Amino acid sequence: MTKSNTYKAGRHFLSVPGPTNIPDRVLQAMAFPAMDHRGPDFQNLSNNILKKIKLIFKSEDPVVIFPSAGTGAMEASLANTLNEGDKILMFETGHFATEWCQAARRYKLNVDFVPGDWRTGADPKIVEKKLREDKNHEIKAVLVTHNETSTGIKSQVEEVRKAIDSTNHPALFMVDTISSLGSYNYEHQKWKVDVTVGGSQKGLMSPPGLSFNAISPKALEAYKKSNLTKSYFDWGQMLENNKGGFYPYTPAVNLMYALNEAVDMLLEEGLENVFKRHKRHADATRIAVEAWGLEILAKNPIERSDSITAIMVPDGYDSDSLRKIIYDNYNMSLGTGLNKVKGKVFRIGHMGDLNDLTLAGTLSGVEMGLKQSGIPFKKGGVMAALDFLSK
C-alpha cells in the first residue's frame, strides 16, 4: 500500500463488520513484553481466560482457543467430529456459510447445501422435514451460521434446535457465531449446541487472530470416532494441554492479554446490557435506512442482525463507488458486498466498542456520501436515528 502524502485530520471511522474498533484498554493490555508460555505467569493468565470465556458462550463446556482466524475454528469443527463421506445439512445464507460448505467438501463430506437467496436465514421447517425423512440417520450434523457477516442475516438457532429435538434425530448441531458472539444473546448449553465456532475480532473487541470451539460432551464422543485428518486443530492435544493451562504449541500470548481484558470489559458492562446496546444501535440503523428509502438485504425483520446491517443500493448503482466516495471524503470504511452481492450492498458494522455518537457519525458519513453519489434517496435518515437514540 502506498502511503498518502496528505494527512487526514481526526480518527478514521472503522465501520466495517469486523475487525471492529479495539478499545484503548485492550490495546494497552497487549503492550507487555512476551512471556514464557510454559511458565506460571502464562499459566495463570490462560486458566483465567479459559474459565471466563465460558461465560460469553453461556456454557460450562470446554472452550478451545486456536491461534487462527475464525476460518480455522470452522475447519476444526468439521475435522474433529466427522468422517469422510458423512452427510451433513447446511444452508446457503451468504458468503461465509458457503465458505464453510466448501471446507466441508474439501474434507470429502457429503453436503446437502440448501440453496438460498442470501436474503433469508436457515429455515427450521426445512431442518425438521429433512431430518424426519432421514429414517436411517444418514445426516450426521446440522450446521447453521447464526449471524451471516456478508448479509446481516440472523438465523433462529433456538428454533433450529427445537426442530432437531422434535424429530429425535441424533445429528450433531454446529453453529458459527463469529459475528454474533458478544453482540447478542447466544446460549451454547441451553440450546444444546454441540460445537460453537467463534472469533476474536468482532463482538469480542480484540484483534484478529484467535478463534474458538465450544465443545459439548456429545461432540467429544464424536471426536473419538472421527477419522478426518487433523493436526494443528486437533481437540485432543489442545484439551490435554489446557488441563494445566498450557498449549501444544506456542499460543498467541499478547492476543491472550487482549482477550482477557476484552472479556473483563464485557462482563463489567454486563452481557445483558451489551445485548441491549447492540439491539438499540441496530434499531437506530434500521430506522435511518427506512428514512432514506433504501432496502435492507435481510427480508424478514426477525432475521435482521443486531450487529450488521447490509443495505442495498438501487439497480444501476454501484455500492463500491459509494464506499469509495465515503472513504475518500470522510475517512470512513464500510463493508463491501461479497460474492453474489458484490456491488449491490454496503454493510455497516454496529458491534463491539460502539456508543451513540460513534453510530451517529457513521450514519452521517453514509448520508453525506449518498448525497454526493447521485444515488436516489430521501434525506433525514440521520435525524430519524438521532430522534430514536435521544428518547
What's the gap between Cα 40 and its chain centre? Answer: 33
- The alpha carbons of the chain give a radius of gyration, in whole angstroms, of 21
List pLDDT tens digits, range 121-137: 999 999 999 999 999 99
| Closest-CA residue to 197 (of 64, 351, 353, 60) | 64
| Closest-CA residue to 269 (of 187, 348, 204) | 204
The model carries a pTM of 0.96
Q: How confident is the model at residue 1 (pLDDT cuts 50, 70, 90)?
A: very low
| Closest-CA residue to 78 (of 96, 100, 45, 47) | 100
DSSP string over 294-357: -EES--SGGGB-SSEEEEEPPTT--HHHHHHHHHHHH-EEEBPP-GGGTTTEEEEE--SS--HH
| Number of Cβ within a 10 Å radius of residue 213 | 26
Q: How confident is the model at residue 233 (pLDDT cuts 50, 70, 90)?
A: very high
Q: How confident is the model at residue 7 (pLDDT cuts 50, 70, 90)?
A: confident
Q: Which amino acid is at 68?
A: S
Instruction: Give the dihedral sign, CA 127/128/134/136.
Output: positive
Q: Copy the grid coordinates of residue 216.
A: 459439548
List pLDDT tens digits, range 215-225: 999 999 999 99
Q: What is the pLDDT of residue 2?
A: 53
User: Does residue 4 register a pLDDT over 70?
Assistant: no
pLDDT, average across residues 162-189: 97
Q: Which amino acid is at 303?
A: E
- Which CATH entry fits the domain spanning 13-20+271-389: 3.90.1150.10, 3.20.20.10, 3.40.50.150, 3.40.710.10? 3.90.1150.10
Residue for cell digits 510454559?
38
Phi then psi for 134, rounded to 5 degrees? Answer: -85, 70
What's the gap between Cα 87 and its chain centre? Answer: 25
Torsion angle defined by CA atoms of residues 367, 121, 157 and 228, in that order, rounded to the nearest 10 degrees: -110
Residue for cell digits 447490509?
310
| Number of Cβ within a 10 Å radius of residue 334 | 26
**Fold for the domain defined by 24-267:** Aspartate Aminotransferase; domain 2 (3.40.640)
Helix (H, G, I), strand (E, B), or coil: what is residue 147?
strand
Instruction: Kindly give, in sequence order, each residue whose CB lies less than 8 Å from that of residue 273, ignoring residues fewer than 6 positions away.
Output: none
* DSSP bridge partners of 310: 347
Residue ranges of domains in the chain: 13-20+271-389, 24-267
pLDDT, average across residues 52-61: 97
Instruction: Kindly give, in sequence order, each residue whose CB lies less than 8 Å from that of residue 75, ignoring residues fewer than 6 positions away.
Output: 103, 233
Helices (H), the chain: 24-30, 40-57, 70-79, 95-106, 124-133, 157-167, 217-225, 235-242, 253-269, 271-292, 319-330, 356-373, 381-389
User: Does residue 347 register a pLDDT over 50?
Assistant: yes
DSSP string over 204-215: T---S--EEEEE
